[in-house]
Chain A
Amino acid sequence: MTTTTWGWLVLLFPLIGSAVISLGFRFWGRTAGWIGTLAIALSFACAVAMLISLQSHGATHRELTSSLWNYDVSTGVDAHMAILVDPISVFMALVVSGVSTLIHLYSISYMKSDRGFARYFAYLNYFVLSMLILVLGGNFVMLIIGWAFVGAASYLLISFWYRRTTATGAGLKAFVINVVGDVGLVLGTFFLFRHTGTVGFLSNFNAIHHVFHTDSTDLVVACLLFLVGAFAKSAQVPLHTWLPDAMEGPTPVSSLIHAATMVTAGVYLIVRLHPLFEMAPTAADVGACIGCATLLIAGSIGVVVTDIKRVIAYSTMSQIGYMIMGASAGAYSAALFHLMTHAFFKALLFMAAGSIIGAMAGNQSLDRMGGFRKALPFTFICFMVGGLALSGIPPFSGWLSKDDIIGYMYHRGGGFFVLGILGEVGAFITGLYTFRMIFRAFWGEPSPEASELEHGHLAHAEVPTNPMTGEEEDTDIGFPGPEHVIAEREWPMRIAMSLLALLAVVGGLIEIPGVDSGITNFLAPAFPHSRLFAQEPSTGSAWVGLIVTPIIGLIGIAIVYRLYVARRGTSARLAERFAPLHNFLVNKWYFDELIDYAVVRPALLIGRVADSVLERIVISGGVTGGVTGVVRAGSATVRRAQTGFLRYYAAAIVLGLSALSLYFLISST
């Protein structure tokens, strides 16, 4: 079997899974979950086979394409249905399908009492399919297709509990912002296509050297538009406001889409299009700056948020800021390395959060959690592993990957050095919010639900409510199911979380500076002409960073320990003293309000004006009303001749007859 055949099989299994579950959704029952998991597991197996097969090729022959059919004849554009199998896409496919398998397994337990069980797995399989199309696509057309499908899947899954207005509103918000990104992506493709005349990746990369020069305007514009797409998908400032709201979806969805896979699509985009970004340094600089800004902004908001899932969401935003910063600056293997480790520990954190939310009977507020250490031991261990990996504490994987990026930034020097320093600040803030969350949830006085659980009784909500607004709900279809689950009682959840915890611990060991460079060596054949890829900091300077960064992280953890554990109540006093700053952070830097005033209200105004003026007055009144009015007036005028008097009709006939014969008489003379 050729490598690309394995690639097509990787795409085929989620497609079959999604189709099979959708078609039989009425009678699958609980089996739908196992079908979905099996489909993705098979896809992962094929991805592994694809990896092995790829490595059997020589080092310079590891960019393989395969096309199923060609739309060239009908459209005039060389749009193939093609995949590109190279180290980048294989890497992404492995991460996506691997983490997805574990999340599917977790979901079998988590969603078990939900009445939309089969629909959920159909959507989830569809999502994995679209993400794989995105990463395996061999030309811009496939990329755009995957991009759009992923947006659709995200919308479907965020508003999965569709009877909740908060959820549907969040889904709509995510979709609209994603569409902005889609527009950027498509326009960027067009700007590129105008000059290169082709949409394939490899052919574009070959062509740009002839068509563009460094920083030529159209190329910079194209790259900026691609960045717009990347920012929308990866929730970078200013297109980030959808990600916290996207936590309305079920927790496994947040774990898969909004932590491990979809939001990393922006990073993948920049890494895939690295030749373009290397030729347009202006756009790359913009990307790095935005990435850095996001990691600081998101981190600062994460420090004050009280909903546990939103803390993790802002953490995701921040870590992706690292990846975008790194990828824009040229640290491709570092960015992908961090992507991989982040997928592991962030998915783990979300899964653990799902467990503790289950223990709280659906409530997600940190204000009401406390002292779950004894009641949820397994969940506690997972949180600690994930938290330590996230904060970059040795020997966990996050330590190596985060510092890989920061070390590269130092190495590039100039403005990037400053960004590197800011990255260290970000590491400090990461420690702050991560362990704030852990200390508040697991230390201190046990909350009522924790006490109940210590006695072996899982709390159950009398009346199901919306965790954000407190509105009452029921548990029928369109709302979460009546049962809540915790990891300690469900073996699928424990298996998935254990595997991820293991990976979060040891996953970094394949890229230790000076010891081994598993990822860099693996990815090298995909970057044959890159001048930035080969630049690596020396082992010594890398190790300096590797020592400094965890110290900064530990300082952050210590501060938070003092605030929340040693001297409780300090945080409330601090919030009072720095009230304006606290308000500013709690209101998420007022981005939502800014977008509301700048974009949403003008759009609504235009819509209203268009309706009242253009639609009602011009079109209905003027055009259709005018036409019908003219016809009516004309017919009214003509109707006046129909008086109903017989003699007048007869007179008209006689008159007509005489006039006609007069005419003929005259004309015949």
Chain B
Amino acid sequence: MVFSSILFFIAAIAAISGAIGVVMLRNPFYSVLALVCHLIALAALFMLLRAEFVAAAQVVVYAGAVMVLYVFVVAYVGGGQEYQAGSALRILGPLFALAVAVELCIAMLGTGLSGVSSHGAHYVLGFGTPKQIGRLFLTDYLFAFEVASLLLLVAAVGSVVLARRRRGLEAEEAEDHDFQRRLRQPRPAFTGTMAEAAGLRIAVREIEESGPAVMEQEPALPTTSND
């Protein structure tokens, strides 16, 4: 009993400090690492709650796969600059969060739920084991299982589509002259074409000079535009 309490406190404090670390650390890379720590602490908490499979999945899937994905992206995108936080939300944000915390605590702990002040239901052997979870997935919650797998497929395809290259490599560009010529032809602006989305810069000329606005081609590599 005492051992589990001590474990609980260690894991809880680790989780909370990990959370605070995610929020407060400036460098996003450090935030990711803080989150990893938080996740592992959470896995410990799950173990304390007799959810063995969930804890294992937490470590393997969440901390193992999702966070690795995060690390890759953070490495690609870069550390990010130090931004000047300037809006009213700098003060209001934590305030709202505090309000939410208080309310949630009152809601969860101040209820008449009898189980809140207990240690949980009587432990049945096999509670939370993979066998049990697996059986439930394939019988009672089959639909959720299937839908979740479909969702994963969709997400995978979506992310590939979102993040693919629009500009080919140098070799590809040199080959497809026809496409490039058509791509670089002047078009009316604001028509929502893919060419527009692909990053061709829009040059809006005055109406008096030459009629409606027409898109111009950027002959060179696109430059950063922070206007």
Binding site for B on A (CB under 8 A): 645, 647-648, 651, 654-655, 657-658, 661-662, 664-665
Give the CA-CA distance A664 to B89 in the complex, in Å: 26
Asked if B100 and A657 make an inter-chain contact with CB atoms under 8 angstroms apart, the answer reads yes
Residues of chain B within 8 A of A657, CB atoms compared: 100
B103:A658 contact, CB within 8 angstroms: yes
Q: Can you name 16 extra interface pairs (CB under 8 A) apart from A654-B97, A658-B103?
A: A645-B87, A647-B87, A647-B93, A651-B93, A651-B96, A654-B96, A654-B100, A658-B99, A658-B100, A661-B100, A661-B103, A661-B107, A662-B103, A664-B107, A665-B106, A665-B110
Question: Given known contacts A647-B87, A647-B89, A648-B89, is B96 in contact with A655 (CB within 8 Å)?
Answer: yes
What is the chain A residue whose CB lies nearest that of B90? A647
Query: DSSP class of B's interface residues: helix, strand, loop or mixed?
Result: helix
The tally of residues in B whose CB lies under 8 Å from a CB in A reads 13
Determine the chain B residues whose CB is within 8 A of the CB of A654 once the complex forms: 96-97, 100
| Listed A/B pairs (7) with beta-carbon separation below 8 Å | A647-B89, A654-B97, A657-B100, A661-B104, A661-B107, A664-B107, A665-B107
Nearest chain-A residue to B111 (Cβ)? Answer: A668
B103 nearest in chain A by CB position: A661
- Nearest B residue to A653 via CB reads B96
Structural contact, B106 and A658, CB atoms closer than 8 A: no
The 4 closest A-B pairs by CB, nearest first: A654-B96, A661-B103, A658-B99, A658-B100
Complex contact A665–B103 (CB within 8 A): yes
Neighbouring A residues of B106 by C-beta, 8 Å: 665
**From B99, which residue of chain A is reached at the shortest CB distance?**
A658
Q: B89 touching A651 by the CB < 8 A rule?
A: yes
Query: How many Å lie between the Cα of A655 and that of B88 in the bound state?
Result: 14
Q: Which chain B residues lie closer than 8 Å to A645 at the CB level?
A: 87
Residues of A within 8 A of B220 (CB): none
Name which residue of chain B comes closest to A648, CB basis.
Answer: B89
Query: In the bound complex, how far is the Cα of B97 from the Cα of A657, in angstroms?
Result: 11
Task: Give the residues in chain A near B99, CB-CB below 8 Å.
Answer: 658
B106 to chain A, nearest CB (A): 6
* B221 contacts across to A, CB distance below 8 A: none
Question: B2 within 8 Å of A by Cβ?
Answer: no
Closest to A664 in B: B107
Residues of B within 8 A of A (CB): 87, 89, 92-93, 96-97, 99-100, 103-104, 106-107, 110
B92 A651 Cβ-Cβ under 8 A: yes
The residue in A648, A654, A658, A662 that gathers the most chain B C-beta atoms within 10 A of its C-beta is: A658
Determine the residue in chain B with the shortest Cβ distance to A655. B96
CB-CB nearest in chain B for A669: B110
Q: How far does the alpha carbon of A664 sit from the alpha carbon of B103 in the complex, in Å?
A: 10
| B103 / chain A contacts, CB cutoff of 8 Å | 658, 661-662, 665
Bound Cα distance A414, B27 (Å): 122
By a CB distance below 8 angstroms, the chain A residues around B92 are: 651
Shortest Cβ gap from B95 to chain A (Å):
10
CA distance A110 to B107 in the complex (A): 103
Shortest Cβ gap from A655 to chain B (Å): 6
Given the complex, which residues of A lie within 8 Å of B96, measured CB to CB? 651, 654-655, 658
Considering the complex, give the chain B residue whose CB is closest to the CB of A660: B103
Taken together as a complex, chains A and B put the C-alpha atoms of A665 and B108 apart, in Å, by 10
Chain A residues with Cβ below 8 Å from B107 are 661, 664-665
Q: Which residues of B contact A651 (CB under 8 A)?
A: 89, 92-93, 96
Provide the residues of chain A in CB contact with B97, threshold 8 Å: 654
Contacts of A661 in B (CB 8 A): 100, 103-104, 107
Shortest B132–chain A CB gap in Å is 33
Complex: how many Å from CA A651 to CA B110? 26
CB of A602 to closest CB in B, whole Å:
48
A658 CB, nearest partner CB in chain B, Å: 5
By a CB distance below 8 angstroms, the chain B residues around A665 are 103, 106-107, 110
Residues of B within 8 A of A658 (CB): 96, 99-100, 103
Q: Which residues of B contact A647 (CB under 8 A)?
A: 87, 89, 93
A405 to chain B minimum Cβ distance, whole angstroms, is 80
Smallest CB–CB gap between B23 and chain A, Å? 13
CA distance A648 to B100 in the complex (A): 16
- Chain A residues with CB under 8 Å of B89's CB are 647-648, 651
Set of chain A residues within 8 Å of B104, measured between Cβ atoms: 661
Q: How far is the CB of A648 from chain B (nearest CB, A)?
A: 7
Cα distance, A651 to B88, chains bound together (Å): 11
B131 → A minimal CB distance (Å): 38
State how many angstroms separate the Cβ of A664 from the closest Cβ of chain B: 8
Name which residue of chain B comes closest to A668, CB basis. Answer: B111
Nearest CB of chain B from residue A665's CB, rounded to whole Å: 6
Using Cβ atoms and an 8 Å threshold, which residues of chain B touch A662? Answer: 103
* B104: nearest chain-A partner, CB-CB: A661
Give the Cβ gap from B193 to chain A, nearest Cβ, in Å.
23
Measured CB to CB, the closest approach of chain B to A21, in angstroms, equals: 56
Nearest chain B CB to A654 CB, angstrom units:
5
Closest chain-B Cβ to A667's Cβ sits at a distance in Å of 12
Compute how far the CA of A64 lies from the CA of B87 in the bound complex, rounded to whole angstroms: 98
In the complex, A662 Cα to B97 Cα: how many Å? 14
Cα–Cα distance between A647 and B83 once the two chains are bound (Å): 15
CA distance A431 to B100 in the complex (A): 112
Closest CB of chain A to B94's CB: distance in Å? 11
Q: How far is the CB of A194 from chain B (nearest CB, A)?
A: 67
Q: How far is the CA of A656 from the CA of B97 in the complex (A)?
A: 12
How distant is the Cα of A269 from the Cα of B87 in the complex, in angstroms? 90
Q: In the bound complex, how far is the Cα of B99 from the Cα of A643, in angstroms?
A: 24
Chain A residue contacts of B87, Cβ below 8 A: 645, 647
Say how far A666's CB is from chain B's closest CB, in angstroms: 10
Residues of B within 8 A of A664 (CB): 107
A398, chain B: closest CB distance, angstroms: 78
A657 and chain B: residue at smallest CB distance: B100
